[in-house]
Amino acid sequence: NAGVTQTPKFQVLKTGQSMTLQCAQDMNHNSMYWYRQDPGMGLRLIYYSASEGTTDKGEVPNGYNVSRLNKREFSLRLESAAPSQTSVYFCASSESLAGSYEQYFGPGTRLTVT
């Protein structure tokens, strides 16, 4: 039982390049989330998916797109990377139907855009 896994762990991009961050969970959770974490700003929600086939914008969606490929996988795409997107990206999942809303996080992807 791996929980939430993310790939890659580290990535360096040049301005304008594109990439996709992958996330998968094996806990059969309905809800999945993408956050970014910057110093002094906590975790900010980029996009989330309450169930397979649905996605919604969070606090900071500009410059990102997401795909809920199936119940297990939720990917985040940067179409044209900018230095302002240098951050640590976390994927999380939760089972809100159980009334818990506990977020289970992956280990993060550290992205630098030069």
Partner 1 sequence: TQLLEQSPQFLSIQEGENLTVYCNSSSVFSSLQWYRQEPGEGPVLLVTVVTGGEVKKLKRLTFQFGDARKDSSLHITAAQPGDTGLYLCAEVKTSYDKVIFGPGTSLSVIP
Q: Which residues bind partner 1 (CB under 8 A)?
A: 4, 31, 33, 35, 40-45, 48, 50, 56, 58-59, 90, 92, 94, 96, 100-103, 105-108
- Residue number, 11 or 17, with CB nearest to partner 1: 11
E-assigned strand segments in the chain: 4-7, 10-13, 19-25, 31-37, 43-49, 56-57, 64-68, 74-78, 87-94, 104-105, 109-113
- Residue number, 13 or 33, with CB nearest to partner 1: 33
**Cβ of residue 76: shortest distance to partner 1, in angstroms?**
15
- Residue number, 17 or 50, with CB nearest to partner 1: 50
Amino acid occupying residue 37: Q
